[in-house]
Amino acid sequence: MSTDEMWAGGHPAYLDMDPGQDDVWALATALGVLQVLGVTTVAGNHTVDNTYRNAVNVLDVFGRNDIPVHRGCAAPLWHPLVTAPEIHGQTGLDGYAFPTREVTVADVHAVEWLASQLCSLSRSVSVIATGPLTNVAALLIGHPSVKPHLSGITVMGGSLSGGNVTPHAEFNFYVDPDAADWVMGSGVPIKMVGLDVTRQATVTRAEVEERLGSSSREAARMLVALFRFYARRHPDPHHPFPLHDVLAVAADVKPDLFEWRSIPLTVVRCDPVRRGQSAMIEEATDRQPVDVAVQIDVLRFFDWFWEALRLSGL
């Protein structure tokens, strides 16, 4: 397919992710509103073997195994890997019985695959990254010639208002702060969609069950089952949960749902207390500013969200 033909079908993008409960909702909405050119996986919520398997399994349930999936980096650039099984489960995606079958691993590493894909396009496309930024940083470090092929990178990560894994750091930036700092300073246009907005747009188990519970589609059953697992520690069906990664897809597709602030950012890399903290650079710097989402129009976002899921075939 030529690049022009790709654009005729909508806005093409690559997803780099670590599925992961909320990554699955990001993937589901992306299938509805984007032309997903490929999915690359990274270690974060779980090992890269599991995040790869989870991405392949979810695409299967959506009947979209036409979308290429490539396995990427197994560990952060420098720090040892930290995962989050207490949230996402022992497989990284507990709650739904995916068929137990052999998942073959594509033999080209995600970073090499993405580099060759991007360089073969005659128009620039975006990458939406919803896991630690290891693959994206490795891409920019190892293949700087891809930069003109990137219209931008939309990142779920960071926070200007406190963390979720430590008081200072958001999980994705905490897991690979070196990669996050590299990407923030890369000069590629970056949209940072962090906890400042993802904590504003929450959904409840009652809403998910009401919207999707009566669907006969297997993908809807999967999403409801996964959400029940994600919500398992809160018996109240009206307890609010953030779906962090979905907001990165929304920001890539409909940036007008958000209010943005353009600021130069750094990510704390080594300080044992502040590791992973995203911080505005106060002094003069030649770092290109990053667009940080600071507010979201919650009502319009949820109109977009349910419609995107409907368009994904639910």
Binding residues for ligand BDR, rule: CB under 6 A, are: 20, 22-23, 45, 84, 87, 130-131, 156, 164, 170-172, 244-245
Quick one: 112 exposed, middle or buried, by C-beta within 10 A (0-12, 13-18, 19+)? middle
Alpha carbon distance 223, 216 (integer Å): 12
Of 76 and 264, which has the nearer Cβ to Ca ion? Answer: 76
Residue where the block lists tokens 């890399």 = 269
Of 121 and 165, which has the nearer Cβ to Ca ion? Answer: 165
56 binds, among ligand BDR, Ca ion, none (CB under 5 to 8 A by kind): none
Q: Decide: helix, strand or coil at residue 237.
A: coil
171 binds, among ligand BDR, Ca ion, none (CB under 5 to 8 A by kind): ligand BDR
194 binds, among Ca ion, ligand BDR, none (CB under 5 to 8 A by kind): none
Minimum distance from residue 282 beta carbon to ligand BDR (Å):
25
Minimum distance from residue 44 beta carbon to ligand BDR (Å):
7
User: What is the CA angle 298-301-304, rounded to 5?
Assistant: 155
Candidates 46, 88, 168, 244; catalytic one: 244
* Distance from the Cα of residue 273 to its chain's centroid: 25
Three-state SS for 6-55 is HHHCCCEEEEEECCCHHHHHHHHHHHHHCEEEEEEECCCCCCHHHHHHHH
Minimum distance from residue 132 beta carbon to Ca ion (Å):
8
Of 96 and 173, which has the nearer Cβ to Ca ion? Answer: 173
Minimum distance from residue 131 beta carbon to ligand BDR (Å):
6
Alpha carbon distance 76, 157 (integer Å): 15
170 binds, among Ca ion, ligand BDR, none (CB under 5 to 8 A by kind): ligand BDR
Alpha carbon distance 21, 108 (integer Å): 26
| Catalytic residue check, 244 | yes
Active site residues: 244
